[in-house]
């Protein structure tokens, strides 16, 4: 509920969340660039690119699928 995508979920608009994971300094003043996992970030960037190209080339719009607990 505290993520940037929460308003989209509330309106049943499909979202995708990509992350390299969290650590104790995430979103804290002590967080710094040295803590970025660049290898993981590179993999995620490639995945996001492929997902975006796939979504853009589809004839049908993405469907909203509610989360299951």
b (16+ CB within 10 A) / e for 35-54? eeeeeeeeeeeeeeeeeeee
- Short-list 31, 26, 17, 28, CA closest to 67: 17
**The pLDDT value given to residue 26:** 84
> 29-60, pLDDT tens digit by residue?
999 988 888 999 999 999 999 999 999 999 99
**The pLDDT value given to residue 69:** 64
> 10-27, pLDDT tens digit by residue?
899 888 888 888 889 988
Over the chain, what is the mean pLDDT? 88
Q: Is the pTM of this model over 0.75?
A: no
């Amino acid at each position: 509920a505290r993520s940037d995508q929460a308003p989209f979920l509330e309106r049943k608009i499909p979202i995708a969340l990509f992350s390299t994971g969290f650590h104790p300094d995430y979103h804290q003043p002590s967080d710094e660039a040295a803590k970025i996992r660049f290898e993981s970030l590179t993999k995620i960037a490639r995945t996001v690119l492929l997902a975006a190209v796939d979504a853009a080339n589809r004839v049908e719009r993405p469907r909203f699928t509610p989360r299951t607990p």
